[in-house]
Amino acid sequence: MSSRYPHMFKPLDLGFTTLKNRVMMGSMHTNLEETKNWDRVAEFYAERARGGVSLMVTGGIAPNQEGGVFAQAAGLYDQGDVKNHSAITKRVHEADGKIAMQILHAGRYAYSPQCVAPSPIKSPISPFVPAELDAAGVEKQIQDIAETAARAREAGYDGVEIMGSEGYLLNQFLVTHTNHRTDEWGGSYENRMRFPVEVVKRARQAVGEDFIIIYRLSMIDLIPNGSTHEEVVVLARAIERAGATLINTGIGWHEARIPTIATSVPRAAFAWVTKKLMGQVSIPLITSNRINTPEVAEDVLATGCADMVSMARPFLADADFVAKAAKGQAEQIAPCIACNQACLDHTFSGKISSCLVNPRACYETELKFRPAKEPKAIAVVGAGPAGLSAAMTAAECGHSVTLFDQSDQIGGQLNLAKQVPGKEEFHGLVDWFQARIDALPIKTVLGTRVTAGDLDSFDDVIVATGVVPRDPKIEGQNNSNVHSYIDILSGNRRVGERVAVIGAGGIGFDVSEFLVTEQEDSPSTNLPQWLKEWGVADPAEARGGLAVAGGEDAAPVRNVTLLQRKKEKHGKRLGKTTGWIHRAALNKKNVNMIGGVNYERITDEGLEISFGETRENPTLIAADDIILCSGQESERQLANKLLEAGKTVHIIGGADVAAELDAKRAIDQGVRLGLSL
């Protein structure tokens, strides 16, 4: 059953309990706990327990008011909370799962004026200056965390994870960057690590021996004055002695300016960091970050990087990840493409997390697959993300589905996205759609442009015909040196060394990235190059793992100017947690970003622009080629014909609304429609 992944499916004996495989679902803050809809929270975890993961960790739960990530963050403060959390553990245990509760004290990262820290130093990602803890305050935090661990046990959890990484309170005590104390909790490393070690010791005393304590240890801080590898080893040994059962890996503080989980980060990019600690302690080590397929997980384990892997977002994408891997159906696992669009971007906007690929994530009690009462004959026109999702969902509910596309391949605009360096994960997404379409009773008719008359025999028609590029109406745009983004990303057009890109939305950024990188050499599939470009070093050689970024390999292959009419910062509307990465990546390649422009005309010499309402400061952007990335409009010709003919038509995806279209909205709309037919 599990012969393809022998290391992944080897049980892990913890002495008092055994984990049935080596896969843990890592902690994710989904904002679900904050809904206080405990049935919904319980179903989220129970569905994943049924999917075969051996151990799950909840989102961060505060041990006290001052430690909450924000003012109303979920906590485990009293017997009422114990009762609420019992609903989760009961359902998980009924599904033969195990679950640990993460205790998260945010310290100076708490978005609250009540926040506390070892020293009163504001973080760059928070507006609040934390109050310095006095001796009694330090003792209170330790006591609160220990008591929370005891309450977690009372609530039926199998363990706790003590959050000691990502720059939260325990991490803040460890490094001089945030700890300027001169008492027994600061100064020497021995003093600075006293707080996390004491926390683990007291938590162990509070919960007894037969209860899992995971300590999440920051193995590479990626901030100035972060820990050295030597200090990490000293801490890990002390944490083991203090009573931890497992050590999990933390990579980078939240304020670090190096991406650690975004899609452009190579897969398993930080497993080597955990490997450095292997053999230094005798308790099992868990590694994490950008592990998203059974193959990668197996490889990480087989090459001795860790005893166990933690994956978090992949369990939003597919609750049955482990069960499908066990059945040898890896191609059926919905892939996490690490986009952050529906998970972290939602969390940081105060919304409930979900998943771009799987809109049911965190909506399990609302979006349910039920057999259709009256199965219908359904035509889906357009095999982009919206059409594919609608077709799959309708077929899963028992409808008879025919999927049409004028192209001879499925995927629509995803096929363009996958050409962009740093977006290689989109290959996996298209492959997964193909595997699902093949596995379901869906008739596919590709390479055919259907007309309204071809669809007469269907009960319902779903129009997912997508978008066409917007006409920016710029003088000279029909010159031979002007191309659409489709020509560029589909590889139909090679361009010269100087390029102007009109439009700095998601596609303008993608096209710029494509133009400045040699296609064979995406850093996202070349770990040494990626580490070098972002300045990640071995923490045994450079404190915190921070080296100087860049180097000769970072030279751009083209001279690109990226323009927009708006005066705002380029990329402001890209993902909340990833916009800065796209901007930083283009800055590293010297892309010239110019805003607040008017497009005057295009000539053989390049693009003429001016600035402001009075069209002052006329400037020529000398360019061999000009690429139009000026947004899209809905493609509705077929929809309009069908509506005129009186057909029942459902219009989804870009054909419905082109503005701000992305795969998240397209897939969500497709799934919801498929369930409602």
Q: Using CB under 6 A as the criterion, which residues of the chain lie in contact with ligand SF4 when the complex forms? A: 313, 316-317, 336-343, 355-357
| Cα separation, 647 vs 171, whole angstroms | 61
Q: Closest distance between ligand SF4 and the C-beta of residue 675, in Å? A: 19
Given ligand SF4, ligand NAP, none, residue 385, with its beta carbon under 5 to 8 Å by kind, binds none
Number of chain residues interacting with ligand NAP (CB under 6 A): 22
Q: Name residues contacting ligand NAP, limited to 454-493 (CB under 6 A).
A: 470, 472
Q: Which of 357, 414, 455, 507 binds ligand NAP (CB under 6 A)?
A: 507
**CB-based contacts of 358-361 (< 8 A; 24+ apart in sequence):** 358/316, 358/317, 358/318, 358/334, 359/667, 359/668, 359/671, 359/672, 360/671, 361/44, 361/316, 361/317, 361/319
* Cβ nearer to ligand SF4, comparing 60 with 545: 60
Given ligand SF4, ligand NAP, none, residue 357, with its beta carbon under 5 to 8 Å by kind, binds ligand SF4
Q: Closest distance between ligand NAP and the C-beta of residue 609, in Å? A: 11
- Tokens representing 392 are 């799959």
Given ligand NAP, ligand SF4, none, residue 10, with its beta carbon under 5 to 8 Å by kind, binds none
Enumerate residues 6+ apart whose C-beta is below 8 A from 472: 502, 503, 599, 628, 630
- Tokens representing 18 are 């055994």
Which of 423, 604, 640, 403 lies closest to 510, judged by CA? 423
| Cα separation, 647 vs 641, whole angstroms | 9
| Cα separation, 330 vs 103, whole angstroms | 33
Contact stretch for ligand NAP (CB under 6 A) within 126-134, 274-282, 343-351, 563-571? 563-571
- Please state at what angle helix 425-439 crosses helix 385-396, rounded to 10 degrees: 30
Q: Which of 359, 387, 428, 506 binds ligand NAP (CB under 6 A)?
A: 506
**Counting contacts by CB under 6 A, is residue 255 touching ligand NAP?**
no
Q: Which of 97, 118, 422, 631 binds ligand NAP (CB under 6 A)?
A: 631
- Tokens representing 533 are 């470009």
The verdict on whether 5 is a catalytic residue reads no
Strands 460-463, 442-446: pairing kind: unpaired
Helix, strand, coil fractions of the chain, as percent rounded to 5 = 35, 20, 45
* Cβ nearer to ligand NAP, comparing 19 with 602: 602
Q: Which of 504, 607, 623, 666 binds ligand NAP (CB under 6 A)?
A: 504
> Which amino acid would we find at residue 328?
G
* Cβ nearer to ligand NAP, comparing 339 with 495: 339
Strand partners, 563: 502, 594
* Cβ nearer to ligand NAP, comparing 141 with 630: 630
**Counting contacts by CB under 6 A, is residue 632 touching ligand NAP?**
yes
Given ligand SF4, ligand NAP, none, residue 508, with its beta carbon under 5 to 8 Å by kind, binds ligand NAP
| Cα separation, 329 vs 321, whole angstroms | 9
Contact stretch for ligand NAP (CB under 6 A) within 14-22, 280-288, 443-451, 656-664? 656-664
Given ligand SF4, ligand NAP, none, residue 629, with its beta carbon under 5 to 8 Å by kind, binds ligand NAP
Q: Closest distance between ligand NAP and the C-beta of residue 631, in Å? A: 3
Strands 400-405, 285-287: pairing kind: unpaired
591 within 8 A of 627, measured Cβ to Cβ: no
Q: Closest distance between ligand NAP and the C-beta of residue 662, in Å? A: 4
Given ligand NAP, ligand SF4, none, residue 504, with its beta carbon under 5 to 8 Å by kind, binds ligand NAP
**Counting contacts by CB under 6 A, is residue 564 touching ligand NAP?**
yes
Give the number of other Cβ atoms within 10 Å of residue 248's Cβ.
30
Phi-psi region of 232 (alpha: psi -120 to 50; beta: other; left: phi over 0): alpha
Instruction: Label residue 556 exposed, middle or buried (CB < 10 Å: 0-12, 13-18, 19+).
Output: middle
Of 157, 168, 485, 599, which is the active-site residue?
168
Given ligand SF4, ligand NAP, none, residue 505, with its beta carbon under 5 to 8 Å by kind, binds ligand NAP
66 within 8 A of 110, measured Cβ to Cβ: yes
* Cβ nearer to ligand NAP, comparing 137 with 491: 491
**Counting contacts by CB under 6 A, is residue 508 touching ligand NAP?**
yes
**Counting contacts by CB under 6 A, is residue 505 touching ligand NAP?**
yes
Given ligand NAP, ligand SF4, none, residue 356, with its beta carbon under 5 to 8 Å by kind, binds ligand SF4
* Cβ nearer to ligand NAP, comparing 226 with 385: 385
> Could you list the active site residues?
168
Task: By CB under 6 A, name the binding residues for ligand NAP.
Answer: 470, 472, 502-508, 510, 564-566, 574-575, 629-632, 660-662
